[in-house]
Structure 1
Amino acid sequence: MSTIILDVSRLLTRLYDGLLPTGVDRVGLAYIERYGPQARALLSERGFSVVLTERDSRQTFAWLASSIRNRNAIRRLVVRACLNRAFEASFKQGILLHTSHNGMEYPRYYRAIAKRNIKSVFMVHDLIPLTHAEYCRPGVDKTHRNRIHTALKHADGLITNSQATLDSLTTEARNADLPLPSNVVARLASGVTARPPGARPIEAPYFVILGTIEPRKNHWFILHVWRRLVEQLGTAAPKLVVIGRRGWECENVVDMLERCASLRGVVIEEADCSDERLHAWLQHAQALLFPSFVEGYGMPLAEALALNVPVLASDLEVFHEIADDIPDYLDPLDGPGWIARIHAFADADSPERAEQLKRIERFREPTWAEHFEHVDAFLDALH
């Protein structure tokens, strides 16, 4: 039986820095929950890597699973790992599972893994920097292309979160004249742990937009929609709850959040939102708004529908893959369309909202059990 090795470099770094988990991090945590009891942890930096001892692996997994942050202990663990690197043994049979994109671009990473008799399997979350570079930080397209091409050349296997991502990956491999390694589509489950119904955060009707504030998420557009709603409805305008940290190249959004007088008291920003508070905000929302220009998956969509919360979303292929015709779909630049639908869904007796709630009854939530059924079968086939 193969030993599972989990690269937890990104997770441990973010824990050390005191950052809340993103969607990518939640996937990594799910892998720890599934494989942690029998797995070993691996740390990597710029292509150099070390597999932790069984004891240090258990400790690291426990820290990450419980979000226990002990910076001194983490520093000691990293030093110990570096000192033990010279005595690191090979494995009879191992499989590396790497669930973030960090470090995929270094060929020496793959070579070192192979020398330890470990097969390397990477998850590809999206190819957005390649297909939509305009929504990313400058230079990220080059870095991500290098990551993807290096994985295509050297990885033993690839996991994608959606058929849409696999289609993009297949196209990129064909265009670059590179081989496509063995692969599997394994859809992601909701990243929010199920909890009993919580108290309503505010009495007024409100909508939620969830995700890191970055250009492709289209926050700027939604804030302009909300300004128009305030112009039309005044104090009767529904609230907008913006959940997510401020990311990159979002100065226009920040200007709206901080300086637009008509949005004060109407838009609520939750930059560091705990899972418990996120659950409460979602549960009682009139709808989740998901106006992205492009997504590799769209975990918030699954999270909302799993909580029986309606969704107003961009008309993206991957959203149809996850939710079929259940959400109300709109063009991400159709201002009048979004305004009309938000008007409709804000009404307590909204027939449009009631119709979607009826459709939600047939939503089949992706589960981690199904995800790992696909992954486990794929790993067995790699032997």
Structure 2
Amino acid sequence: MAKILVTVPNLKTPGGVSSFWNALLPEFQIKKDLKVTPLEIGGHGKNPLGPFLDQWKLMSSLKKVDLVVLNPSLGARSFFRDGLFAKQLAMGNRKFVVFFHGWDLDFEKKVTKSYIGFFKGSFAKAEQIFVLSRDFETKLREWGYTGKISIATTTIESGLITGFSIKDKIEHIGNSGNLRILFMSRLVREKGIYETIDAYRKLKLSFPNIELFIAGDGEEMELVAKETKNDVDIVMLGHVAGDKKKDLLMKSHVYCLPSYTEGLPTSVLEAMAFGMPVITTPVGGLKHFFKDKEMGYFVDLKKKEDMVHRLQDLISDTERRVTIGTYNHGYALNNLTADKVAHRLAESFNSIIERP
């Protein structure tokens, strides 16, 4: 049985990487040819010894490990921390792969200007790199990586959609009095929360039956709450999880996430799985994954009325919402559930381990 060590953040905390591996680890546990062990790193706060503790933790966990999976984002903290992991692994002739989840475009420019040498001596030694966008693949090639690059997806926790019926959702759409627009993400300006609120306000004048539910917390939470306290039918929920999250997804009709920058947000995949058309932007992994007009609509935030018009199309046309939502549900079941993603990754991992 091949043994794989996966670096992860604290799996009990919210975040894209922890959500990804919380969904996949149960799927790997039932595979007979792989043993995948998570190694939690980070979370040291301002402790100056934190990076050294992480290095020691990784090196002391490598006994009888066939492959290490590093899970950084392209940002200052994890770029250097995980880059040092990669250097240590390369020096010890250890096989490792890298899965870049987040991708900070401003930090990308810094790498291009100042840190290509560090990249070549660390991440570029990986057997394979997984990214969420072809744009990221192009940048890795520019920085000198010559190995295999795979375009991956994030995933949906299998248990989340257990018991969900697209037929029941369609019946609910036909019988529901109000139409619920959902925004579910960290509440930071870059996720497009204020653009979503602005579009909702304009549409509320013509469609009094719409409501906007905002789920998530973050640095803008207090400002958003203050901004919307007098808005009719804007509901602030804070962070949601478990059954509350599932109920929210089941009862929502259109999903909005007009981000300025992204990897491939799990919330978009979850909305698709629950039969919702999606309003989003052509950034990061979404640019190549998302099928405009089939899965919902891309919007151009530079054109102030574009998002209003696209939302209006979905609000006013029930048949279109049902058609797109049904397609999204089927696509998610066939491609994005944790068992499907785990199977694809397992094939890649086994192939790497078997290479001389």
TM-score range, shorter chain: 0.7 to 0.9
CA distance in 1, matches of 2:116, 2:29: 31
Question: 2:80 matched to 1:105?
Answer: yes
Q: Is the 8 A contact 1:206 1:241 kept in 2?
A: yes
Deviation at 1:368, TM superposition (A): 2.8
**Identity, % of aligned positions:** 13
| The 10-residue stretch of structure 1 (319-328 or 210-219) with the greater mean CA deviation from structure 2 | 319-328
Question: 2:150 matched to 1:184?
Answer: yes
Q: Is the 8 A contact 1:209 1:242 kept in 2?
A: yes
State the match for 1:270 in structure 2.
Answer: 237
| Cα separation, partners in 2 of 1:374 and 1:286, compared to 1, 3 Å | closer
Give a deviation string over 1:13-46, Cα, whole Å, max 9, x none: xx3xxx4x22221112234324458334434441
Question: 2:46 matched to 1:46?
Answer: no
| The 10-residue stretch of structure 1 (272-281 or 182-191) with the greater mean CA deviation from structure 2 | 182-191
Aligned ranges 1:12-91 → 2 under 5 Å: 12=11, 15=12, 19=13, 21-35=14-28, 38-44=35-41, 45-46=50-51, 48-50=54-56, 88=60, 91=63
Deviation at 1:340, TM superposition (A): 3.4
| Cα separation, partners in 2 of 1:269 and 1:141, compared to 1, 3 Å | farther
State the match for 1:369 in structure 2.
Answer: 339
Question: 2:182 matched to 1:215?
Answer: no
Deviation at 1:283, TM superposition (A): 1.5
Q: Is the 8 A contact 1:212 1:244 kept in 2?
A: yes
Q: Is the 8 A contact 1:292 1:332 kept in 2?
A: no
| The 10-residue stretch of structure 1 (314-323 or 145-154) with the greater mean CA deviation from structure 2 | 145-154
Q: Is the 8 A contact 1:223 1:256 kept in 2?
A: no
CA distance in 2, matches of 1:146, 1:272: 40
Q: Return the match for 2:129 from 155, 158, 163.
A: 158
Deviation at 1:376, TM superposition (A): 2.5
| Cα separation, partners in 2 of 1:35 and 1:145, compared to 1, 3 Å | farther
Task: Tell me the secondary structure at the aligned position of residue 5 of structure 1.
Answer: strand
Task: Tell me the secondary structure at the aligned position of residue 347 of structure 2.
Answer: helix
| Cα separation, partners in 2 of 1:240 and 1:274, compared to 1, 3 Å | same
Deviation at 1:273, TM superposition (A): 0.5
Deviation at 1:140, TM superposition (A): 11
Give a deviation string over 1:38-62, Cα, whole Å, max 9, x none: 334434441543459xxxxxxxxxx
Number of residue-to-residue matches in the alignment:
323
CA distance in 2, matches of 1:302, 1:42: 26
Question: 2:66 matched to 1:94?
Answer: yes
Q: Is the 8 A contact 1:90 1:116 kept in 2?
A: no
Q: Return the match for 2:96 from 120, 127, 140.
A: 120
Q: Name the amino acid aligned to 1:211.
A: S
Task: Tell me the secondary structure at the aligned position of residue 127 of structure 1.
Answer: coil
Structure 2 unaligned residues grouped into runs of 5+: 42-49
CA distance in 1, matches of 2:21, 2:254: 28
Task: Tell me the secondary structure at the aligned position of residue 321 of structure 2.
Answer: helix
Structure 1 unaligned residues grouped into runs of 5+: 53-84, 134-138
| Cα separation, partners in 2 of 1:98 and 1:223, compared to 1, 3 Å | same
Deviation at 1:123, TM superposition (A): 0.7
Q: Name the amino acid aligned to 1:217.
A: K
Question: 2:225 matched to 1:257?
Answer: yes
The two structures have a TM-score, normalised by structure 1, of: 0.69
CA distance in 2, matches of 1:335, 1:49: 48
| Cα separation, partners in 2 of 1:118 and 1:256, compared to 1, 3 Å | same
Q: Name the amino acid aligned to 1:338.
A: M
CA distance in 1, matches of 2:71, 2:91: 21
State the match for 1:240 in structure 2.
Answer: 212
The two structures have a TM-score, normalised by structure 2, of: 0.74
Q: Which runs of 4+ in 1 moved over 6 A?
A: 139-147
Q: Is the 8 A contact 1:152 1:180 kept in 2?
A: no
Q: Name the amino acid aligned to 1:5.
A: L
